[in-house]
Amino acid sequence: MKVRKPVPKQWKGVAAASAGAVALGVTAWLIFRKKKDEVEANVSDEATEPMATKVPSRWRKSLPILKNKEAITPIADPVNVAKQLFEKAVKRNIEGVLALLNQIQNVEDYEVVNAAYKIETDKRTMVKQTIVTSLLDKYFSNNPVAKDRIKSAFLRIGLKLTPQGKWSLSGFEKRRDLITNVTTFVTDWMGNRIAVKPETILGEAQMTTNGMTRFQGLDGQLYKVPDRDVRYL
């Protein structure tokens, strides 16, 4: 019968350390594998989401809000707005005046309505007046509350108030008269076309949009002309 020799004490320590290392290695591998599976699962879920819609929450408040410029269209019927505005002003109807001013979205709209308004005042009172002068210096001159509300509407539109207390338009502070370069045509607000010869003075330019320049003719009426066919005096 063979008798097993006792294992030296120093070897027992080595064996125990080896067993512990193996157990630790297995545990670490299991933890690593579990984490790897979780990561792969998350990646798989995220891959199904559109990348364009993933915005970090810390950035969302700083993203710019883009506006569709095409949504801003010129005022549809400036002559009618001018007529109603004059009628409301004569009656000192401040709410009606403000409602009509609210239809004027920018300086370009104001220029067109103002040109029609001067024609309307000339026809009704024999004196041409701008919207600013008519509302602030005549019909609501004795109503400070109404004047403040009208001034706020003018500022919203884009009119500028100088330190001297005068209102002005950005980009249209000086008179700009048009003259034709070639034979062309002008279009009135009814859509009628009128032939015009070269070197004909048309009137005062108001604004240019979509290749057409709007102007107030020498007869006080509003017209449009192709901007390639005219120049400024």
Q: How many residues does the chain have?
A: 233
- As a whole number of angstroms, the distance between CA 211 and CA 135 comes to 33
Please tell me the CATH code under which domain 177-232 is placed. Answer: 2.30.30.40
Cα atoms in the Cβ-side hemisphere of radius 13 Å centred on 16: 7
pLDDT digits (tens, 9 = 90+) for 70-99: 344 578 899 999 999 999 999 999 999 999
Which pLDDT does position 232 carry in this prediction? 80
- Mean pLDDT for the stretch of residues 135-151: 92
Is residue 187 within a helix (H) or strand (E), and if so which, with residue range?
Answer: strand 184-188
pLDDT digits (tens, 9 = 90+) for 27-62: 555 555 555 555 454 444 443 443 333 434 433 333
Which pLDDT does position 60 carry in this prediction? 34
Whole-prediction pTM: 0.46
Spatial strand order in the sheet of 230-232: 193-196, 184-188, 222-226, 212-217, 201-209, 177-180, 230-232
